[in-house]
């Protein structure tokens, strides 16, 4: 291998690539924007939607219960919802989101409460819809409260303590460190985004440096220079890898910046890295979750061999194509091959095991989830790093082999 030749090819291809707008867009611009957009944009919008849904006083309907005026009145007085007159097409109205939920009070309900009878109350909601669910939740709270009071008064009437039916209380306490919670919530998303950006960052340089050159007729020009094929592959491959790593670096820097800014905006409370979390906050404020900065360093280290793997695979696949367009049609399905294991790693309950540690990309998502939550599984990390490096070396060897095949270089 001739270092000077590789450097010459590398410098030229890098210059050429930097003058290509498509590459700049996919390698520099998009990775820089995606992270803040995801964190501020999506996180804030989600949190905002939840907060607004919580603030909204839902409209509900009370069906039946004409002989239960007391219950109806206290429903009407509740500050948690706004009771509107019943209408026969209430199901439609809930579906159309005109009414959030409905409660059906059976005949003789109030009389039954006093007499000690048992009855069933139905709450109607549009399942899966956030605001309807919240309204139904409020109705259930109201009914639970009413039930507790009824039990208490029934027991009191018999001279018994309310504790008779509540022999104990339960409470759940979180013992996981805050990083762990953060790691689980955003830990899955961060490596996923980094993996994807590593891929898209390498995508355009890979296509441009192989199929693009064939299409424009410059590959033949290049091949008649005395530089060896292995040096050409090395120089070009390094540019593709640079694209991949640049995309990752850009996204990490912009992520760090947005976390830092996010923390400042929220009025720093000591945690170093913070982020707007996902929906499902217990209150209207944005939940700030901490992630382990060392974990991020670990993620970068583990992503390196994957970046090499992506670059080599993309290089080989794109080299096979005659034209840029053909290369795109080969590369597009590859995105799904990258996304699928990455998404599988996000699924709850999928944990690292000896076998999964050998599945490329999936193993990375899983180990990153752990690292970001402060768990360092050194032997798994070693397996994953080495196995990915082996796959990457195999892909690179294949790239060199393809570059020596004249039926690949001169396909027509």
Partner 1 sequence: MTYEPATAMIEAHGLVKQFSDRKRGPIRAVDDVSFKVEAGQVYGLLGANGAGKTTTLRMLATLLRPSAGTALVAGHDIVREPGLVRASVGFLAASTALYGRLTAREMIAYFGRLNGMEDSLIRARTASLAAELDMGEFLDRRCDRLSTGMKQKTSIARTLIHDPAVMILDEPTLGLDVIAARAVLSFVRDCRTRGKAVIYSTHVMAEVEKLCDVIGIIHGGRLRAHGSLAALRAEYRETDLEEIFVGIVSRPEGVAS
Distance of alpha carbon 370 from alpha carbon 378, whole angstroms: 11
DSSP character at residue 359: S
Is 9 one of the binding residues for partner 1 (CB under 8 A)? yes
* 203 closest CA partner among 245, 243, 235: 243
Binder of partner 1 out of 51, 152, 223, 300 (CB under 8 A):
223
Q: Which two tokens stand for residue 230?
A: 């292995």
- Least CB distance to partner 1 at residue 175 (A): 58
Binder of partner 1 out of 221, 301, 329, 337 (CB under 8 A):
221
Residue with smaller CB distance to partner 1, 208 or 292: 208
Answer positive or negative: Cα dihedral of 182, 347, 354, 383: negative
**SS3 of residue 290 by DSSP:** strand
The Cα-based distances of 257 to 25, 251, 260, 265, 298 in angstroms read: 20, 10, 5, 12, 19
- Least CB distance to partner 1 at residue 318 (A): 17
- Least CB distance to partner 1 at residue 385 (A): 35
Is 228 one of the binding residues for partner 1 (CB under 8 A)? yes
Is 220 one of the binding residues for partner 1 (CB under 8 A)? yes
Q: Binding to partner 1 (CB under 8 A): which residues in 20-39?
A: 20
Residue with smaller CB distance to partner 1, 86 or 228: 228
Binder of partner 1 out of 3, 85, 159, 217 (CB under 8 A):
217
Binder of partner 1 out of 158, 224, 355, 378 (CB under 8 A):
224
* 78 closest CA partner among 139, 126, 136: 139
H helix runs in 209-268, sequence order? 213-216, 218-223, 229-265
Is 80 one of the binding residues for partner 1 (CB under 8 A)? no
DSSP character at residue 225: S
Binding mask 197-216 for partner 1 (x = CB under 8 A): -------------------x
Is 122 one of the binding residues for partner 1 (CB under 8 A)? no
Residue with smaller CB distance to partner 1, 12 or 80: 12
Strand order in the sheet with 82-84: 82-84, 59-64, 101-105, 122-124
Number of residues that bind partner 1 (CB under 8 A): 25
Pairing of strands 82-84, 59-64: parallel
Binder of partner 1 out of 122, 153, 161, 225 (CB under 8 A):
225
Is 218 one of the binding residues for partner 1 (CB under 8 A)? yes
Q: Which stretch binds partner 1 (CB under 8 A): 33-41, 278-286, 312-320, 402-410?
A: 402-410
- Least CB distance to partner 1 at residue 315 (A): 18
Q: Is residue 182 within 8 Å of 368, Cβ to Cβ? A: no
Is 227 one of the binding residues for partner 1 (CB under 8 A)? yes
HEC string of 317-348? HHHHCCCHHHHHHHHHHHHHHHHHHHHHHHCC
Distance of alpha carbon 152 from alpha carbon 165, whole angstroms: 9
Is 19 one of the binding residues for partner 1 (CB under 8 A)? yes
- Least CB distance to partner 1 at residue 125 (A): 60
For binding to partner 1 (CB under 8 A), which residues are involved? 4-5, 8-9, 12, 15-16, 19-20, 216-218, 220-228, 406-407, 409-410
């Amino acid at each position: 291998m001739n270092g000077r030749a590789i450097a010459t090819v590398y410098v030229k291809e890098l210059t050429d690539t930097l003058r290509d707008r498509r590459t700049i867009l996919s390698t520099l611009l998009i990775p820089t924007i995606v992270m803040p957009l995801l964190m501020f944009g999506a996180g804030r919008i989600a949190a905002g939607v939840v907060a607004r849904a919580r603030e909204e006083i839902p409209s509900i309907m009370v069906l039946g219960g004409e002989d239960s005026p007391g219950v109806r009145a206290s429903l009407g007085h509740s500050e948690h919802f706004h009771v509107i007159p019943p209408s026969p097409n209430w199901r439609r109205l809930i579906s159309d989101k005109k009414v959030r939920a409905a409660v059906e009070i059976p005949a003789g309900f109030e009389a039954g409460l006093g007499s000690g009878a048992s009855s069933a109350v139905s709450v109607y909601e549009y399942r899966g819809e956030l605001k309807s669910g919240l309204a139904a939740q409020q109705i259930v709270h109201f009914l639970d409260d009413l039930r507790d009071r009824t039990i208490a008064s029934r027991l009191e009437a018999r001279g018994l303590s309310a504790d008779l039916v509540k022999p104990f209380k339960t409470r759940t306490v979180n013992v996981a460190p805050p990083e762990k919670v953060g790691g689980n919530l955003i830990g899955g998303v961060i490596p996923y985004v980094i993996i994807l950006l590593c891929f898209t960052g390498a995508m355009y340089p890979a296509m441009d440096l192989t199929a693009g050159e064939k299409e424009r007729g410059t590959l033949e020009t290049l091949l008649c220079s005395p530089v060896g094929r292995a040096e050409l592959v090395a120089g070009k491959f390094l540019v593709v890898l640079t694209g991949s790593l640049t995309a990752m670096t850009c996204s990490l820097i912009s992520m760090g910046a947005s976390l830092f800014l996010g923390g400042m905006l929220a009025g720093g409370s000591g945690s170093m890295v913070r982020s707007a979390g996902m929906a499902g906050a217990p209150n209207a404020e944005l939940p700030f979750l901490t992630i382990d900065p060392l974990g991020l360093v670990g993620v970068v280290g583990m992503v390196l061999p994957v970046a090499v793997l992506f670059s080599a695979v993309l290089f080989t696949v794109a080299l096979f194509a005659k034209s840029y367009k053909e290369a795109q049609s080969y590369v597009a399905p590859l995105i799904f091959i990258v996304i699928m294991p990455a998404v599988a790693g996000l699924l709850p309950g999928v944990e690292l095991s000896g076998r999964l540690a050998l599945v490329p990309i999936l193993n990375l998502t899983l180990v990153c989830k752990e690292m970001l939550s402060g768990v360092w599984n050194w032997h798994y990390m070693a397996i994953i790093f080495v196995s990915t490096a082996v796959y990457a070396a195999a892909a690179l060897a294949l790239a060199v082999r393809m570059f020596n095949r004249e039926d690949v270089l001169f396909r027509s």
